[in-house]
């Protein structure tokens, strides 16, 4: 019986404590159109108006949400840039890695085609001008 009474007392004390914490969680300010309620824990705001003797609250639009998401994106970019700068300063940047064999062969193929065409143009120019370039 004693345990039951003690359990009931502890339950009531916990409920009263939770209600007191909940009461301290919000701040209410009177405005010209009604009240503004702020949740001290989250910073969320609500606009409240008296209707039929009761307070009716609706969540205020939060203009900070787009700013907060943009700040988070910018913070991620700054972190990535700081890592990149640290890699460059350490002397082992990712961009200094050698190309793969396939990339190297592809680049060499482009260069080879370029020089062949260039040499063909030089030969065509020489044949049109009597075998050697004219000196000025």
Q: Is residue 111 part of a domain?
A: yes
Q: Is residue 28 part of a domain?
A: no
CA distance 70 to 64: 10
Residue 129 has pLDDT above 70, yes or no: yes
Query: Does pTM surpass 0.75?
Result: no
Q: Is residue 115 part of a domain?
A: yes
Q: Is residue 134 part of a domain?
A: yes
Q: Is residue 72 part of a domain?
A: no
Counted domains in the chain:
1
Find how far residue 6's CA is from the centre of its chain: 52
CA distance 84 to 89: 9
pLDDT, one tens digit per residue, over 16-32 is 555 555 668 888 888 88
Q: Is residue 128 part of a domain?
A: yes
Q: Is residue 124 part of a domain?
A: yes
Q: Is residue 41 part of a domain?
A: no
Range of the domain at 130: 100-136
135 contacts: CB under 8 Å, gap ≥ 6: none
pLDDT, one tens digit per residue, over 61-88 is 666 677 778 889 999 999 999 998 888 8
């Amino acid at each position: 019986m004693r345990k039951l009474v003690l359990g009931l007392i502890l339950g009531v004390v916990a409920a009263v404590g939770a209600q007191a914490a909940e009461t301290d969680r919000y701040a209410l300010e009177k405005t010209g159109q009604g009240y503004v309620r702020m949740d001290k824990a989250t910073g969320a705001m609500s606009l409240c108006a008296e209707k039929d003797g009761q307070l009716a609250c609706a969540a205020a639009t939060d203009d900070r949400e787009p700013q907060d998401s943009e700040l988070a994106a910018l913070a991620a970019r700054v972190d990535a840039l700081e890592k990149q700068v640290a890699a460059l300063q350490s002397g082992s940047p990712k961009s200094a890695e050698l190309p793969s064999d396939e990339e190297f062969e592809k680049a060499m193929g482009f260069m080879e085609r370029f020089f062949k065409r260039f040499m063909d143009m030089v030969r065509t120019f020489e044949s049109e001008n009597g075998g050697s370039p004219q000196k000025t």
